[in-house]
Structure 1
């Protein structure tokens, strides 16, 4: 499905309800599989969460997770710990190009029986589940936090728990802390000191219901919409001021774009006045929140300001090479942009090309990050249905705010 999108007004008002965080949901789903006495409320309705649920419940010998990178990492760890389960874990063509060797090697150190069907270090994986006896492993600290979280989530189910050493500078710390905080909520003792994480074993947990906070990555697009509007008053639910999600840094970052955040009850409110002050240049290290890089880059371009975004090395191995994809699509609008393997540099620009058709590269964040530019010029989004990966209701919610979305 391709769409045309434009804005009927640049003065935006509305209330939006966003379902649970994909990141929190998938972590809790794995913990629920290990500890069935757990109940989860406000589960994400994203494709990734549905794939994770289906994979965990499946009794089949082959599981296809399509584009869901989180599910690939988490299910690899989970099935490696399940005695008697022999699984072929595969995904889309892009998934077979995304490395998983570091996680597989770590699991092998713990005693896992995992082999590669084709290319070494990449899916599909052949997993023979067994009771893992190891309790110590070392991995590089600058890898995707999903590798680290996958190990931490299975750690309490191991006979002796896990001592995980991270070598080098740790990136995506908030996602690691999210995982550890969820372990803490179900009563799993842990220590995180320096580059060493110790998780104690836990055979049973108390029966309880865990409520998933709404997704801050999804909120990022409304921050961008508010920033690019003439004025805005947008309420989003359900969010916590003391969020576990790294992307909650949005509330601080977008103050530089004239967007103020306030919390009330279980929601947050975004406001922007017509005379809001905007910075003339933005430099950010996003190593702890790389998923909002696309949104911020598009916001800066839409406001005509320059930026330098660093700490983006993990974007090369996402649904697409997000840095190259950003360069290609922003250039269509007239942006002067350069990227390396870990940073993005955007020059200030006062002109935005009209009527551009944005390619999405099977990447939900490309579609949603570019949508706010419709406040400046009409544009088209190719394969707009890709948003279902994390936010199926996105286009409907934009119409609530005053956008016109037409299928073509």
Structure 2
């Protein structure tokens, strides 16, 4: 489905939006719930990724296809490795079969897991024969997707001797590792993280309890962008959020001050308000701890005619698409002067935005959503707009609630 977003006529916005639970928290908790049935979850994400995760955890089929769900691929690789007596072939979409899994597989093999590749070495699909793992120490590169590390942490408490993980090299995406450890702590699993060593202690059962998932901060980023581009005095209330968030993307509240957006924390909600004009000096920031908001930030800078220099983006190369190349190509079509490397992005000031440009989304939900706020500046076409359901089912409905008119092409 291709859609045309027409320019928002009323630039002053005052709306309330409810966003579903964090995909990152939900998928971690779904694994933990299957390891510990005493755990109940509320405000679960309605994203495609979490739906795929729930299906994979509930089926007895040997072949498990998780589509585009990268988090599910990584977390389930470890989960099925310790599902003693079960044999699983874990696969996904064409893109997923070209996203590397070797670093995680090697770490699990070092622990004693029985995993083999069905096709291309180092990539899904993989065949996993569940077994009992007693080895309690492993090394893994810290400068990779934190999901590899979280995958190991989620099963660590179910290993007979627990698990000690030594992270080698520079450690990135620490907030996501801390999110996993915090969720373990909430359900009563002991761990510690000192220097480059993480230790998780074994736990056979937990007390019966319920965890309420905080709404997704990555999804909130698009509303930060919209408020940044709206008239002064515009505000959007988003629920359900809390000040002491586990999510690294909550740094949005600080970053978007540059665009004149303030964040007020209420009782289980936040209010975003456009207080002042955007600062005209360049935005220079390292996003190693929150790379998923890079696309939103770059598009906001482009729309506000300011330059930016973003670093710490190396993990964007192995997402649903190569997000750095995709940003370069699509923003260039709109008239941007942009340069990317394997881990950085430089955007120069642009005085004019080209109208009615068709944005390719490359099967990447964040490409579709990050470019949507440009409708406050120019009419813009989004191709394969349905891709947003990967993380945000109601995204286009919520855009219409804000007053953006959408025509299906």
> Smaller-chain TM-score range?
over 0.9
Unpaired stretches in structure 2, ≥5 consecutive residues? none
Aligned to 1:380, the other structure's residue is in SS state strand
Q: 1:380 maps to which residue?
A: 381
CA displacement 1:344-396 (0-9 Å, x = unmatched): 00001111001111000000000000000010000100000000000010000
Aligned to 1:235, the other structure's residue is in SS state strand
Distance 1:280 1:25 in 2: 38
Cα distance change of structure 1 residues 277 and 298 upon mapping to structure 2, 3 Å threshold: closer
Q: 2:4 maps to which residue?
A: 4
Aligned to 1:134, the other structure's residue is in SS state coil
User: What number of residue pairs does the alignment pair up?
Assistant: 407
Which of 246, 252, 255 in structure 2 is aligned with 1:253? 255
Distance 2:162 2:358 in 1: 51
Task: Say yes or no: does 1:80 pair with 2:85.
Answer: no
CA displacement 1:136-166 (0-9 Å, x = unmatched): 0001111100000000000000000000000
Aligned to 2:5, the other structure's residue is in SS state strand
Distance 1:209 1:201 in 2: 21
Distance 1:9 1:54 in 2: 42
Distance 1:403 1:77 in 2: 43
Unpaired stretches in structure 1, ≥5 consecutive residues? none
Q: Report how far residue 280 of structure 1 moved.
A: 2.1
What does 1:32-71 align with in structure 2 at a 5 Å threshold?
Answer: 32-71=33-72
Distance 1:337 1:188 in 2: 46
CA displacement 1:47-75 (0-9 Å, x = unmatched): 00000000001100000001000000001
Q: 2:95 maps to which residue?
A: 94
Distance 2:63 2:290 in 1: 33
Distance 1:42 1:262 in 2: 22
Distance 1:278 1:240 in 2: 27
Q: So what's the TM-score if we normalise by structure 1?
A: 0.99
Distance 2:142 2:270 in 1: 33
CA contact (8 A) 2:337 2:348 kept: yes
What does 1:148-159 align with in structure 2 at a 5 Å threshold?
Answer: 148-159=149-160
Q: Report how far residue 84 of structure 1 moved.
A: 1.1
Q: Report how far residue 279 of structure 1 moved.
A: 3.7
CA contact (8 A) 1:99 1:121 kept: yes
CA contact (8 A) 1:80 1:113 kept: yes
Distance 1:119 1:277 in 2: 48
Q: Report how far residue 12 of structure 1 moved.
A: 1.0
Q: So what's the TM-score if we normalise by structure 2?
A: 0.99
Distance 1:279 1:28 in 2: 42
CA contact (8 A) 2:115 2:129 kept: yes
Task: Say yes or no: does 1:366 pair with 2:362.
Answer: no
CA contact (8 A) 1:8 1:404 kept: no
Distance 1:277 1:200 in 2: 48
Q: 1:171 maps to which residue?
A: 172
Distance 1:46 1:331 in 2: 30
Q: Report how far residue 277 of structure 1 moved.
A: 4.4
Distance 2:190 2:67 in 1: 34
Q: 2:268 maps to which residue?
A: 266
CA RMSD, Structure 1 to Structure 2 (Å): 0.7
Q: 2:287 maps to which residue?
A: 286
Distance 1:337 1:12 in 2: 30
Distance 2:353 2:272 in 1: 25
Distance 2:396 2:16 in 1: 14
CA contact (8 A) 1:9 1:403 kept: no
Report which stretch shifted further, 21-30 or 398-407: 398-407
